[in-house]
Chain A
Amino acid sequence: DAGVTQSPTHLIKTRGQQVTLRCSPKSGHDTVSWYQQALGQGPQFIFQYYEEEERQRGNFPDRFSGHQFPNYSSELNVNALLLGDSALYLCASSWNSDSLRGYTFGSGTRLTVV
């Protein structure tokens, strides 16, 4: 049973560019959450998607947007990249109907903005 899959694992972008990160949830999971983890810090919640809608959002600017597809996979888009957007981006999936079981995290995408 595949866990959460994120792609790409690493990428380098130039300031001002746009980036799209992808996440396939664990089989059977229908809810996807995205987190940003700066070096040496804990993950910070960006937003959560369920039924193809953004359900909750953390304190991130509108440059950060997302999408969930009918197969529950998800994308995170970041526009007008800043140097401070350099971080590990984590995707976590869960069952909406049984969120008490906790989230399953992927290994993340390491984004470097130069």
Chain B
Amino acid sequence: DAKTTQPPSMDCAEGRAANLPCNHSTISGNEYVYWYRQIHSQGPQYIIHGLKNNETNEMASLIITEDRKSSTLILPHATLRDTAVYYCIVVNTNAGKSTFGDGTTLTVKP
């Protein structure tokens, strides 16, 4: 499974966009990029996923570079409740196994 690299921490002002980067330079053709977040003392929560096209849902947008070696999760209008650890993972859906790194701790400040 491809490994991912994320900055350990980021801050964002409330109401502004939060852009969380992720490097996955060893990703293979059949691996998807998934993003989850984990609020303290809870299990991870699915946010969004993509293969090679940009994706958007009610929670966030996912931008994947053309070479698929990196991606960015965008929270368009961050709120205090978005403070959490955000994990970028790559998943081979045929195998089902997924590997989490240590994630990015996003702190949204008033």
Chain A residues touching B, range:
20 to 34
Q: Which of A4, A41, A42, A55 has the most CB of B within 10 A?
A: A42
Binding site for A on B (CB under 8 A): 32, 34, 36, 41-46, 49, 85, 87, 93, 95-103
Establish whether residues A44 and B46, one from each chain, have CB atoms under 8 Å apart when the complex forms: no
**Complex contact A43–B97 (CB within 8 A):** no
Contact with B along A35-54 (1 / 0, CB 8 A): 10000111111001010000
Chain B residues closer than 8 Å to A33, beta-carbon distance:
96, 98
CB-based A-B contact count at 8 angstroms: 57
Does the CB pair A42–B103 fall under 8 Å?
A: yes
A-B pairs, top 8 by smallest CB distance, nearest first, are A105-B43, A42-B100, A102-B46, A56-B97, A43-B100, A105-B44, A99-B93, A48-B96
